[in-house]
Amino acid sequence: MTDVTELSIPTRHGEVLCTPEFSRWLELAEATARRLDAASVFGRPLSALRAQARSELVGRAQALLGRWGFAPPEASHGPWVATGHQPGLYHPGIWIKTWAVDICAGQGATGLHVVVDSDECQSWGARVPRRDGTLQGVQRTLVECGDGVPFEAAPVPEEARWRAFCAQLRDDLGTLGLPELLERVSRAEQAGLESLSRARHLGDFGAGLRRRLETKHRQVRYWEVTVSELSETQAFGQFAAWIAQDAERFRACHNAALDEYRRQQGLRSPAQPFPNLRREGDWVELPFWLVREGKRRPVFVRPGAPPVVFCEGRPVGELTDRGLEGLRPRALTLTLFLRLLVADLFVHGVGGARYDRVTDRVLEEFFGVTPPPFAVLTATFHLPLARHADPREAYGAAQRLWLDLQHNPDRHLADPAQARPLVEEKWRCIRALEAADLTRSARRELARRIRAINEALRAHVQDRIAEVEAELEALRREVQEHEVAADRGYPFFLFDPEEVCAPLRAQEGVRCGR
């Protein structure tokens, strides 16, 4: 089990969090492959089930890449290293996971990227920096989807709308005086135009755009599959049927693991990191969604042989090992499927790594399999925007000085003699407050008098207060600009892939050819 208790997101440019060390990934994946192939689930050899799942996913990936206009990667007999994410314009700290999987594929592994097009997409766009007097971050939106609409149900944007979106980004970035960023937007625009005609939905478009940009940089070597396609395989149908046929036991394992996680993390919200599975009378909630009429909907099962699945109070079909049309895994169920039946090493970001401690427990208690280790990888990259050093320490010092001027103006008098009577009276009041037998009304009166004295003393340091307030305002603007400049959330296409890959190449033992 991977230890994630001390994980924290990197804060400095180019800093990477990677555990275990990248140079150990393939060795770890090979050892995990041998162990999982020797295991069994519900009396069936896991090796045969994993071979079936992989074969089906390769077939789906070949069809997807062909539709996108890409040649399939060369076949490999090495261990499987997989990762995945929603098909948005995410930051380069997420993109580095895809490049890491590609590097592993170049060293003999089978790389897989899973496009989570089944996740909810409320809006699709990018946050970029803009300078209008001051540096600020602005959110630009291409598509508004609304609640409950997954990427796979959102339409492909129109060409005119895509061009206008990219033109707006160029207008924003054109205020920065960094022509390389404008060139990168133009490359992304062209990749998007090429992706539009081949995409079936918004998720397809976003993932195809990313892969097209990667391919323009170099030939990528990993397979790619969407969750909507993965969910239609027989292997996924068998996996879902295992859970549905013993839904109450799965619910008990799932909820106990979540409750324990919340206790360990001190979380009070029942929605964090995701809600417990419910029971409503004879119906047991399943850890899946059903995509119907363009939205994701929760599903329940009424135990039986085979179990009948209900959505919004109506039966929608029996869940057998052939699956059920429109059934999609939730986050935990997706990583359960991938770690159990597909990957020898799954690569998480920090957030996924934290909740996968819940997955580990469910793997062990429901499926009877010792949880395979997973890798954690993320990074922070900044655009070249900062004009000065981090001003937050200076801002904090100025805030503390301003507070001291308010509450202890006597410490800052240019000529202590000019206000000596007031200072002496203040300290007499402070010492009087220490008396144990002081009445409440007397204490209130002393406190009131100290505030009045401080107000009188502040008149003697008003010029200094004004200076510090002006300094605070200037530093506040610098802090705001620095936070915008050091934002790690700008879209991946604004960054050089070479810069993103460099920390991985620097690790000993990694051979990274072009």
Mean pLDDT for 445-453 is: 93
The answer to whether the beta carbons of residues 374 and 356 sit under 8 Å apart is: yes
- Determine, yes or no, domain membership for 427: yes
Residues 6+ apart with CB under 8 A from 333: 243, 287, 288
The answer to whether the beta carbons of residues 115 and 84 sit under 8 Å apart is: yes
Categorize the per-residue pLDDT at 392 as very low, low, confident or very high, splitting at 50, 70 and 90: confident
pLDDT greater than 70 at residue 479: yes
Residues 233 and 105 in one domain: yes
Residues 203 and 347 in one domain: no
DSSP 27-89: HHHHHHHHHHHT-EETTEEHHHHHHHHHHHHHHHHHHHHHHHT-PPPPP--S-EEEEEE-SS-
Query: For the chain, how many structural domains are there in total?
Result: 3
Categorize the per-residue pLDDT at 388 as very low, low, confident or very high, splitting at 50, 70 and 90: low
User: Domain ends where: 161, 196, 221?
Assistant: 221
List, for residues 119-150, the tens digit of each pLDDT value: 999 999 999 999 998 899 999 999 999 899 99
DSSP state of 149: -
Residues 208 and 244 in one domain: no
State the Cα–Cα distance between residues 150 and 121, nearest whole angstrom. Answer: 5
Residues 215 and 235 in one domain: no
Residues 6+ apart with CB under 8 A from 232: 60, 323, 325
- Determine, yes or no, domain membership for 287: no
H helices present in 267-342, as ranges = 331-341
State the Cα–Cα distance between residues 32 and 302, nearest whole angstrom. Answer: 36
Bridge partners, 308 (sequence order)? 302, 318
pLDDT greater than 50 at residue 196: yes
Residues 466 and 368 in one domain: no
State the Cα–Cα distance between residues 385 and 176, nearest whole angstrom. Answer: 8
Residues 234 and 356 in one domain: yes
User: Domain ends where: 221, 250, 278?
Assistant: 221
- Determine, yes or no, domain membership for 342: yes
- Determine, yes or no, domain membership for 345: yes
- Determine, yes or no, domain membership for 203: yes
Q: What is the average pLDDT value for the chain, to the nearest integer? A: 92
Residues 95 and 172 in one domain: no
Residues 6+ apart with CB under 8 A from 319: 240, 241, 244, 301, 306, 307, 308, 309, 327
* HSE value, Cβ hemisphere, 13 Å, CA-based, for 48: 7
CA angle 210-180-494, nearest 5°?
30
The answer to whether the beta carbons of residues 25 and 104 sit under 8 Å apart is: yes
Bridge partners, 138 (sequence order)? 128
Calculate the alpha carbon distances from 142 to 122, 151, 411 in Å: 11, 13, 56
Q: 3-class SS at 283?
A: strand
pLDDT at 68: 96
Residues 63 and 178 in one domain: no
Tokens of 462: 């008003």
The answer to whether the beta carbons of residues 17 and 26 sit under 8 Å apart is: no
pLDDT at 512: 34
Strands 308-311 and 295-302: antiparallel
The answer to whether the beta carbons of residues 339 and 372 sit under 8 Å apart is: yes
Mean pLDDT for 4-23 is: 88
- Determine, yes or no, domain membership for 296: no
Measured from the Cβ of residue 216, the count of other Cβ atoms closer than 10 Å reads 12
Categorize the per-residue pLDDT at 4 as very low, low, confident or very high, splitting at 50, 70 and 90: low
Chain centroid to Cα 54, Å, comes to 26
H helices present in 107-226, as ranges = 159-173, 179-196, 202-217
Tokens of 223: 């397979």
- Determine, yes or no, domain membership for 47: yes
Residues 359 and 441 in one domain: no
List, for residues 73-120, the tens digit of each pLDDT value: 998 889 999 999 999 999 999 999 999 999 999 999 999 999 999 999
User: Domain ends where: 221, 238, 273?
Assistant: 221
Residues 91 and 233 in one domain: yes
Phi and psi angles of residue 44, each rounded to the nearest 5 degrees, phi first = -115, 135
Indicate whether this model's pTM tops 0.85: yes
Residues 480 and 396 in one domain: yes
List, for residues 241-266, the tens digit of each pLDDT value: 999 999 999 999 999 999 999 998 89
Residue (of 214, 209, 40) closest to 111 by Cα position:
214
pLDDT at 514: 26
Residues 374 and 433 in one domain: no
pLDDT at 480: 86
Residues 6+ apart with CB under 8 A from 432: 438, 446
Structural domain range at position 96: 15-117+228-262+322-383+488-505
First to last CA, the chain: 34
Tokens of 235: 């292997």
The answer to whether the beta carbons of residues 277 and 257 sit under 8 Å apart is: no
- Determine, yes or no, domain membership for 7: no
Categorize the per-residue pLDDT at 3 as very low, low, confident or very high, splitting at 50, 70 and 90: low
Tokens of 260: 């324990």
